[in-house]
Amino acid sequence: MLLKNLTQISVLCLRAVNISSNFPKNLSSSLTYLNLQGTHIRGRLPNDVFQLPKMQVLALGGNNYLTGSFPKFNCSSKFPLLQQLELSFTNFTGEIPESIGCLKSINFLNFQSCQLSGHLPSNLSKLVQLKTLDLSSNKLEGKIPDVFTNLQHLIYLSLSDNNLDGFFPPSIANLTELKGLDLGSNSMTGHLPSNATGLQKLIFLLLSNNSFSGTIPSWLFRDPKLGLLSNNLWNRFTGGLMDALQLMIKYFIKGQMIDLSFNKLDGPIPMSSISTLQNLVFLDLSSNNLSGIDEPNMFSNLKKLASLSLSNNRLTWRTDNNVSLSFPDLWDLRLSSCGISEFPDFLKNSKDLGFLELSNNNIHQIPSWFTSMPWYSLFYLNLSYNSLSSLVPLRWKSLNILDFRFNQLQGSLPLSICNLEELGILDLSNNKFTGAIPKCFGNFSSELEVLDLTNNGLQGSIEVSFSRQSSLKHLGLSGNFLEGSLPESLPNCEQLEVLDVGNNNMNGTFPTWLKNLKEIKVLILKSNQFFGPVGIFKAKNPFMNLRIFDLSNNKFTGVLPTRILENLRSMMSRNKNETEALYMGLYSDNADYQDSISITMKGLEIEFTRILTTLNTIDLSSNNFSGKIPEVIGNLTALKLLNVSHNRLSGHIPSTIGNLSSLETLDLSSNQIEGEIPRQVTSLTSLEVLNQSQNRLVGRIPLSPQFTTFSNYSYQGNLGLCGFPLTKNCGETDQVPPLQEEDSDNFLGGFTWKSVIVGYGCGIVLGVAVGTLMFLTGKPEQLVRFIEEEIYHCVRFLCWKNQVYRRFRKPKRRCHKNKGTTCN
């Protein structure tokens, strides 16, 4: 680095030059201007950089690997002259010190997308020269201090996307120069100030995604002079950067936007005020608690509107027949859940629509003019959850997402869909379509990722030919009357993640080619006529990503598919971050698509409209499988449901089953399983549903605190079983074995205190339980820890007392009720 040799240098700008080395030490003290934006410079920023005596402008943004934190500034030193500090998109960390108030000359401070934490210092009030303050996308918390009274030069203030709470600081409302204010995506509460006479120049306002309440104040809607842009807008558009730029130029340079979405604002939408904004381009009031529109007719004043969203409020959108609304520039319309019963007529006048979201309304009919609209860039069309019974031809080749699920659509599937060469998501599920699936549905678009025709009345065999270019990830055909075997071309869909053909009349043998589909996560063949053994031959790591494996209610025979079970890698390790589990599906800036399927759990068929990526299930029930339950089952430690009921399984329950620590449902019923129930079963501490009935099990039912919650229905139909909860005693020969000292220490086995107690759910006074626990273990120090950790959990004491006590008390206190002995 030559920098340190340049001892006399005053201005240095290397912006966007690829430097890729550590930040230089000992910069020249003559520097007044240093710009190293986007130079890939890295390492730690030395503290003295902020205190160079002549430094005025320091611009270091866009260097992801540059670290550093604020030094403590010294107010008594003569410097700094520092006026501009730009460190956005760096790895700058730590708190903003109160001593920042010493930077008396600063007028530009940008730390967007750094890692700043802690509270905002109240000494911000001393930065009276500030024009721009951007601390968005950091980890700042606490209240925004009400310190803006003296910052009368402030033009742009962004504190969005932090964890800030508290009220809207009243002093912001007095900032007469403020043009842009962004407080979005925080946790702010309370009312917006009813009066903000100061904000005469405000043209750009984003308060969305907070918890503001009350009505929308009228000061928000004042005629703007100019327009500004928000990053948020970018997310609204797909297409390349140039498209976005052109759209911006076209719509936003002279416009205005208001985004108050995702708050708790109530009352009517003050159209009488909003309509004074003749230049309004972007209006998003979605996801509030708005009750109506005070003057619906006034909408007709907003001639420049390009984006309108009123979705998810309590309002009903009714356009009066004698008002002719016309939004010639409308590009994005979102009126989901707005009680609309007529297709919005005003769209006739919008020649440039790109995004139309009208889901969850009561629309019965699509007008005929709709199909001839020249919408060359329409890419999103969502009319799901309406009452449509027929579909008009769809001609817009730009369509990317087509969602008509949950309507009453009848007749055969429209062939016009096969002209939509760019379609990525096609969801026609839950309608009344009949007839065969058109052949072209497999190859009309190489972009197609989701094809969902679930729950219709489709018939015939699947003659669709999927092309080799297929991008298909989700194929949902369940709940129809489809016949024949799976299409031969399906192996072409190498990206396939979800294959659901359940609840049809299909037949054929197990599709062994599935072993080549590396991405497959969900395989549902349930309730069909598939037959034969389930085996796979040579394959490298087959089914590594499989999470939901449902072959139930078919005619499969042979042994359980050990070769598959031993490869289910994704079921073998528990996701450490369960709380951050995602839903399976496709995600993009414009629209998320979440996979939905139905699974039998806890004895009920449950429709999962979203599938957690941590849901792992195996359902092989109601087939003709025979042989033993393989030991490898014990490797699937992340498994939540195992149902092998209603087969002809024999042999013993493998003791490895006790390793399934995530298991919530275990159904082994109606088989020919014999032998004793392995004691390890009692370590299934997550178990909520257990059914081992109708087998040939014998011996004493193993018990543990957890297990007393299962009734005798879990065990009935096994003539050789005895002991609680069955009424049949085990007799003297196999009475409760005396507890070993080791046993008594260890009586909770793999349990933690938490699982024992929580296993009982809620109910009883903690104090009572505490006494009993102590008596049982004689280890008060464990108890103390338990109370600290679990003080808020309550304990269902009765179960404990009545059932478990009997099993775990110390031998000398043991008493047998059987054989007429009495307790001493």
Ligand X SMILES: *[C@@H]1O[C@H](CO)[C@@H](O)[C@H](O)[C@H]1NC(C)=O
Q: Which residues bind ligand X (CB under 6 A)?
A: 2, 4-5, 25-26, 149, 170-171, 174, 185, 209, 262, 264, 266, 289, 443-444, 465, 467, 552-553, 600-603, 621-622, 634, 643, 645-646, 655-656, 658-659, 665, 667, 669-670, 680, 689, 691, 693-694, 712-714, 716, 726-727
Taking CA atoms, 560 is separated from 128, 633, 808, in Å, by: 75, 10, 37
Min dist CB 683 to ligand X, Å, is 9
Min dist CB 490 to ligand X, Å, is 14
Min dist CB 193 to ligand X, Å, is 9
Min dist CB 225 to ligand X, Å, is 22
Pairing of the two strands 592-594 and 585-587: antiparallel
Min dist CB 343 to ligand X, Å, is 28
Q: Which residues pair with 529 in a beta bridge?
A: 507
Please give the structure tokens belonging to residue 111: 């730390």
| Shorter beta-carbon distance to ligand X: residue 350 or 665 | 665
Min dist CB 791 to ligand X, Å, is 30
Min dist CB 364 to ligand X, Å, is 28
**Do residues 485 and 506 touch, judged by C-beta distance below 8 A?**
yes
**Do residues 184 and 262 touch, judged by C-beta distance below 8 A?**
no
Please give the structure tokens belonging to residue 420: 């939509």
Min dist CB 431 to ligand X, Å, is 24
> Residue 523 and residue 502: Cα distance in Å, rounded?
9
| Shorter beta-carbon distance to ligand X: residue 5 or 822 | 5
**Do residues 432 and 453 touch, judged by C-beta distance below 8 A?**
no
State the CB neighbour count (10 A cutoff) for residue 761: 12
| Shorter beta-carbon distance to ligand X: residue 6 or 248 | 6
| Shorter beta-carbon distance to ligand X: residue 277 or 618 | 618
Show Cβ contacts of residue 89 under 8 Å, excluding neighbours closer than 6 positions: 61, 62, 63, 64, 112, 113, 114
| Shorter beta-carbon distance to ligand X: residue 338 or 353 | 338
Min dist CB 27 to ligand X, Å, is 10
State the CB neighbour count (10 A cutoff) for residue 433: 22
| Shorter beta-carbon distance to ligand X: residue 622 or 706 | 622
> Residue 156 and residue 352: Cα distance in Å, rounded?
32
Amino acid 641 reads L
| Shorter beta-carbon distance to ligand X: residue 528 or 553 | 553
> Residue 326 and residue 612: Cα distance in Å, rounded?
43
Q: Among 632, 616, 625, which residue's Cα sits nearest to residue 510? A: 625
Min dist CB 773 to ligand X, Å, is 26
The conformation of residue 670, written as its DSSP 8-state character, comes to S
Min dist CB 726 to ligand X, Å, is 4
| Shorter beta-carbon distance to ligand X: residue 198 or 255 | 198
Show Cβ contacts of residue 761 under 8 Å, excluding neighbours closer than 6 positions: 796
Min dist CB 257 to ligand X, Å, is 15
Phi and psi at residue 755, to the nearest 5° = -70, -35
| Shorter beta-carbon distance to ligand X: residue 570 or 665 | 665
Helices 766-777, 780-790: axis angle to 10 degrees equals 150
Min dist CB 729 to ligand X, Å, is 11
Q: Among 618, 662, 668, 657, which residue's Cα sits nearest to residue 634? A: 657
Cis upstream peptide for 121 (omega within 30°): no
Min dist CB 618 to ligand X, Å, is 11
> What is the total residue count of the chain?
824
Q: Among 309, 297, 325, which residue's Cα sits nearest to residue 357? A: 309
State the CB neighbour count (10 A cutoff) for residue 126: 20
| Shorter beta-carbon distance to ligand X: residue 202 or 353 | 202
| Shorter beta-carbon distance to ligand X: residue 325 or 522 | 522
| Shorter beta-carbon distance to ligand X: residue 329 or 463 | 463
Min dist CB 661 to ligand X, Å, is 8
| Shorter beta-carbon distance to ligand X: residue 614 or 670 | 670
| Shorter beta-carbon distance to ligand X: residue 329 or 631 | 631
For residue 768, count CB atoms less than 10 angstroms from its CB and return exposed for 0-12, middle for 13-18, buried for 19 or more.
middle
Long-range contact list for 234-238, CB < 8 A, 24+ apart? 235/589, 235/590, 236/307, 236/332, 236/355, 236/589, 236/590, 237/354, 238/379, 238/400, 238/588, 238/589, 238/590
| Shorter beta-carbon distance to ligand X: residue 284 or 497 | 284
Min dist CB 162 to ligand X, Å, is 7
| Shorter beta-carbon distance to ligand X: residue 166 or 300 | 166
Query: ∠ CA 142-189-219 to the nearest 5 degrees?
Result: 120
User: CA end-to-end span of the chain, whole Å?
Assistant: 89
Q: What is the 3-state secondary structure (H, E, C) of 217-281?
A: CHHHCCCCCCCCCCHHHHHHCCCCHHHHHHHHHHHCCCCEEEECCCCEEEEEECHHHHCCCCCEE
Query: ∠ CA 238-244-246 to the nearest 5 degrees?
Result: 140
How many Cα atoms occupy the beta-carbon half-sphere of 729 within 13 Å?
A: 10
